[in-house]
């Protein structure tokens, strides 16, 4: 059965561009972004890994570690990393998993036979420190991912894990959030002292609690 939200992310041991890692040990108490790319030495993937490397400080300040995966081998990874660093003006310092036997790709449902029965699609998973799958996004090979959206989702996940709120459509860090329906209106003042506004009894907004 394929992974679903709330499932425990499978552990694995993998050969990577930074040596052999145990996934759970690598993750530690951090959040994880694990994403697959169809193949090394491909144009869209080159820009994606470059974009990820350029956002290093954004991931660090959110306590996020990054892992990338393809079904190509370490030798190809090593040469391709040099190309990425050169063309994208970055330094790849996160692990690229060499999943030649496709064990990890299959465990995470990264191979979609109707798209390709040999290459991984652009799957992306956000995994919380307790190793639960919190988000899954899948793009076709022809469409590069929006990593600003990945950061936005991480901000939402980390905020809503701590407070009884949800984030509305197109929400960005610092904007008002929605009070969870589990909170009675008469209890909002005590939980959210910054105030609130009621649009409908089921639609109540409050300033972002940690700002």
Query: What is the set of active-site residues?
Result: 45
- Is the four-CA dihedral 187, 191, 197, 198 of positive or negative sign? negative
- Residues 52 and 65 sit within 8 Å (Cβ to Cβ): no
The 31-36 sheet, strands edge to edge: 19-22, 13-16, 96-98, 64-70, 31-36, 122-127, 133-139
80 DSSP 8-state letter: H
- Give the separation between CA 208 and CA 167, rounded to whole angstroms: 9
């Amino acid at each position: 059965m394929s992974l679903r939200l709330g499932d425990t992310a499978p552990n694995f041991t993998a050969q990577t561009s930074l040596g052999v890692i145990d996934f759970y040990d690598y993750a530690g108490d951090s959040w994880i972004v694990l994403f697959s790319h169809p193949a090394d030495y491909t144009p869209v993937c080159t820009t994606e890994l470059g974009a990820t490397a350029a956002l290093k400080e954004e991931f660090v300040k959110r306590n996020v570690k990054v892992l990338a995966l393809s079904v190509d081998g370490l030798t190809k990874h090593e040469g391709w990393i040099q190309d990425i660093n050169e063309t994208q003006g970055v330094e790849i310092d996160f692990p690229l998993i060499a999943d030649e036997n496709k064990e990890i790709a299959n465990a995470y449902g990264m191979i979609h036979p109707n798209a390709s029965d040999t290459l991984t699609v652009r799957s992306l998973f956000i995994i919380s420190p307790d190793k639960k799958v919190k988000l899954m996004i899948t793009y076709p090979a022809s469409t590069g991912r929006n990593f600003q959206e990945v950061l936005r989702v991480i901000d939402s996940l980390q905020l809503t894990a701590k407070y009884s709120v949800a984030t509305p459509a197109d929400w960005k860090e610092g904007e008002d959030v929605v009070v969870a329906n589990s909170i009675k209106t008469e209890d909002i003042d005590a939980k959210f002292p910054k105030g609130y506004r009621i649009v409908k009894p089921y639609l109540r907004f409050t300033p972002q609690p940690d700002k």
